[in-house]
Structure 1
Amino acid sequence: MLPRRFLNLIVDSREPGVRSLRCMDLKRLQLFYPTTPPSPTTDGHRLAQAAVDAGNQKHKQAPELVMQSIRLPNPSFTFQASCSHGLSNRWSVSCFPLEERMVLCTDLGGRSFLYDGDKHEVVIMPNLHNPNKSTPISLFVPSEDSSGGGSLFLMESIPRPVNKCKIGHPSDDFEVLVYHKDRMTWHCHSQLFPPPPYVHEPSYWDKRSKISSYSVVSGGSLICVSFKDRGTYVLDTTRYLWDKVGDWALPFHGKVEYVPELKLWFGLSADAQHLVAADLSTMDSQPVLVGHWKKELCPPEEWIEFRDAQLVNLGSGRFCIARFFILDDQNFVVLTGVEVVPRLLNGNGKVKLEMTRHKSRRHTSVYKARIEEVF
């Protein structure tokens, strides 16, 4: 997989229902050192640290002072949701990333379009069966052939309970948009697929569960979703049938991505949300973490992390981790570049994965315009 050129940001605006796509050139952002990052004990680091410690006693921990601040690029595209009068005048637009700089946007009325940042093209999309998903997630599955097409699976992360008499019936909490690259067309799959079996269980009516982690496995033939208290399920992407693979949950939080260069799946840990890796090629038992590294960022105590971190696969074992903080009523995002490389252990021929932390960049929200999603 070739390294990415852009880091894409969905930015909320000062106006209700207005968002924009901002594409940051990774070469200009400079999240990565050209070679091995300098040691924290180098003279340059010691001098910078000494200057900070001597010049400002209020901030005894240096990261917020020595971390370079960044400005957002101009919007590549700005979109606005229509007011949905039938839904208490709510303004909302959901954004679902596909590949590179492609993003699907839909409002509560079901109106959808696809924006391609590389071609600067807008494609009108078919309306969704159920656009009013409260906490949706998405996974793009490329076609197994060489057509260049694929399917975008949209799922409600907290699906509605379903009566047992409707077992096997489709649900609009789960739907598919299919892309035919040869015809340059999209269509909303006429067949909705059934929800996972657990939504029929009586206990689910009393306590709903949220999808805790999800990924594409088996080369795209299966979608895997996991729940902390209900186990792990896979969906056959051709037959639209669910199968429970275990009562255990994946050791991840949020979206998990396959890195072909390392033949492993990477994501954020289920506990502290730091970078971890596991082999999901088989689901016979609960996957064991083969990579488990320290958190890439140690912020000062006064920095409050107020929402889940986000991980972006940049290719060739490189990642960007976005963390969202608040300090003195001011929101800001820290973007950190990390790299995972295999190292041969001395003499025994075994390989160990090592994570290297590169640079961090900070963006502070201005006039309520803040980063909502990174992909």
Structure 2
Amino acid sequence: MSGGMRRFLNLGLYDGHRRLYLLRRLDLSKTGFFHPTEEEAAAHGKVLPTLTPAKARATNRRRICNTQDLATADAAAPKIVPPKPELLMGPPQLSPCLDSHRFVHFFPTASESKVVLGDRGNRMLRFNVVDGSRYIDTLPCLHGVKKMPMAISVPPTDSHLPDGDDTGDLYIIDGLLHPDKAEVRPQFEALVWRGFKPSAISSRFWHCDILPLPPWISHHEHAMVFGHALVGGSICFSICGAEGAGTYCFHIATREWSKAGNWLMPFNGKADYVPELGLWFGVSNNLPCAADLSGIVGGEELSPNKMRIWNRDDLPEEWQPKSLHQPIAVSLGSGRFIIVDFLDAMKFNKEWNEMESVKEFALFTGMEVAYSNGESKGTMRGLRMMKHKSRRYMFSNQQRIEAVL
């Protein structure tokens, strides 16, 4: 493993039984998602088959899980013992008539030891783990409610925080946009650091800035943010609505937009850049995906030969994907990922051909992307995805995972 590998995953959960939001930290060194040596990985791992983009779009997600029996899958994916909560938080004291079932959101930062939390009252808190101690500090409030917030963490520069705080800036956009109402309800904002004043060295100066939406969609009544990726000094968003689809790039330094084209990136949600491979990785049509986005800011459309999609064909038919919860890909560094699938474990009565019971769980799987045959960085030739090990996180007491960061 590389020295830059992450050690923890931050899990944001909601406990409906106690009406509490929980933050748990999963220690990756104790869960064994990866084979420890290349020899063991070669012997016990599985190289996933590739799909063309057209075949991936046509794949029926409810029928790819049929090549392994349930007993074998259960044995290959032991249960995770949930770590103790690091933070318990009640929902904000707001009107229960608000049209949302989520009152607290969990956002990533550039550091695995920090998580930002935002509530429906637009208040922002930051949870920190420093030298074994836990504490919370406050950040500026957002200016408008985000019903389906998507957050992009931008790593700090060397001069960003002279006190060693490595949170970086946080850009938050509503996944469900109403561009025609942007003047009355801000839908794209940034929590940014603006440094110290010489006369107040102990004070930190965070600001929350309202940012414009792409001007090309300003007349739309509604639109959906399909996916996003940090590409150099720009944040690229794929947005689709009733009036068409497009990919737009927000340039952080100038705060201006450019249009890449009338097409969408292949990713659902976030795509992470892996510098060792020169590629971006995420989930496409619920399957692991890699793509070269390096030319997107200049308006270069992503061609099929600049992406790879891998099939998941080793799950039993009793493990059915949840239709309203997309898988999540979390980069650990050096081409390693955790893919989180949200599944229903269904028990069937084969004799009567009907379902008897359903139990929800999340399947955490260690994946590794690497080149074979000595191929060079930034190409698709020789790129392969290896599945290492899986673990099941079983839900109880009306719990659900809201975020994996």
| Structure 1 pair 82–350 and aligned structure 2 pair: CA distance change class (3 A) | closer
1:259 matched to 2:274? The reply is yes
1:352 matched to 2:386? The reply is no
Spell out the pairing of 1:7-156 with structure 2 (5 A cutoff). 7-15=9-17, 17-36=19-38, 37=41, 39=43, 62-85=72-95, 87-88=97-98, 92-99=103-110, 100-118=112-130, 119-130=133-144, 132-148=145-161, 150-156=168-174
> What's the TM-score, normalizing by structure 1?
0.83
CA contact (8 A) 2:160 2:193 kept: no
CA distance in 2, matches of 1:69, 1:265: 30
Structure 1 counterpart of 2:364, which letter? L
CA contact (8 A) 2:279 2:292 kept: yes
CA distance in 1, matches of 2:396, 2:86: 18
SS in 2 for 1:68: coil
CA distance in 1, matches of 2:45, 2:99: 56
Aligned-pair Cα RMSD in Å = 2.9
| Structure 1 pair 196–83 and aligned structure 2 pair: CA distance change class (3 A) | same
CA contact (8 A) 1:160 1:199 kept: no
| Structure 1 pair 335–257 and aligned structure 2 pair: CA distance change class (3 A) | same
CA contact (8 A) 1:170 1:194 kept: no
1:2 matched to 2:7? The reply is no
Spell out the pairing of 1:211-230 with structure 2 (5 A cutoff). 211-218=225-232, 221-228=233-240, 229-230=244-245
- Per the TM alignment, residue 152 of structure 1 is displaced from its structure 2 partner at its CA by 0.7
- Per the TM alignment, residue 19 of structure 1 is displaced from its structure 2 partner at its CA by 1.1
Spell out the pairing of 1:217-366 with structure 2 (5 A cutoff). 217-218=231-232, 221-228=233-240, 229-269=244-284, 271=285, 273-283=286-296, 284-288=299-303, 290-296=306-312, 298-306=314-322, 307-327=325-345, 328-344=357-373, 352-366=382-396
CA distance in 1, matches of 2:269, 2:86: 27
CA distance in 1, matches of 2:312, 2:28: 19
CA distance in 2, matches of 1:41, 1:359: 8
Residue 404 of structure 2 corresponds to 374
SS in 1 for 2:5: coil
| Structure 1 pair 35–200 and aligned structure 2 pair: CA distance change class (3 A) | same
* Higher RCO (CA-CA < 8 Å; seq separation 6+): 2
| Structure 1 pair 350–89 and aligned structure 2 pair: CA distance change class (3 A) | closer
- Per the TM alignment, residue 107 of structure 1 is displaced from its structure 2 partner at its CA by 1.4
CA contact (8 A) 1:338 1:356 kept: yes
SS in 2 for 1:276: strand
- Per the TM alignment, residue 239 of structure 1 is displaced from its structure 2 partner at its CA by 2.4
- More displaced stretch, 63-72 vs 253-262: 63-72
SS in 2 for 1:62: helix
| Structure 1 pair 39–134 and aligned structure 2 pair: CA distance change class (3 A) | same
- Per the TM alignment, residue 170 of structure 1 is displaced from its structure 2 partner at its CA by 8.8
| Structure 1 pair 297–115 and aligned structure 2 pair: CA distance change class (3 A) | farther
- Per the TM alignment, residue 110 of structure 1 is displaced from its structure 2 partner at its CA by 2.1
| Structure 1 pair 186–17 and aligned structure 2 pair: CA distance change class (3 A) | farther
| Structure 1 pair 64–174 and aligned structure 2 pair: CA distance change class (3 A) | same
- More displaced stretch, 332-341 vs 148-157: 148-157
* 5+ long unaligned stretches in structure 2: 47-67, 197-201, 346-356
CA distance in 2, matches of 1:322, 1:41: 18
Q: Deviation string for 1:280-334 (max 9, x for gaps)?
A: 2212321235452433463222222111000000011100000001123211010
CA contact (8 A) 1:296 1:357 kept: no
- Per the TM alignment, residue 142 of structure 1 is displaced from its structure 2 partner at its CA by 2.2
Q: Deviation string for 1:335-368 (max 9, x for gaps)?
A: 000111122269xx99622211100000111112
CA contact (8 A) 2:45 2:388 kept: no
CA contact (8 A) 1:345 1:351 kept: no
* Residues matched between the structures, number: 344
CA distance in 2, matches of 1:159, 1:186: 29
| Structure 1 pair 81–9 and aligned structure 2 pair: CA distance change class (3 A) | same
Structure 1 counterpart of 2:213, which letter? P
> What's the TM-score, normalizing by structure 2?
0.77
- Per the TM alignment, residue 105 of structure 1 is displaced from its structure 2 partner at its CA by 1.1
| Structure 1 pair 360–41 and aligned structure 2 pair: CA distance change class (3 A) | closer
CA contact (8 A) 1:171 1:193 kept: no
CA contact (8 A) 2:194 2:207 kept: no
* 5+ long unaligned stretches in structure 1: 43-57
CA contact (8 A) 1:32 1:358 kept: yes
CA contact (8 A) 1:265 1:279 kept: yes
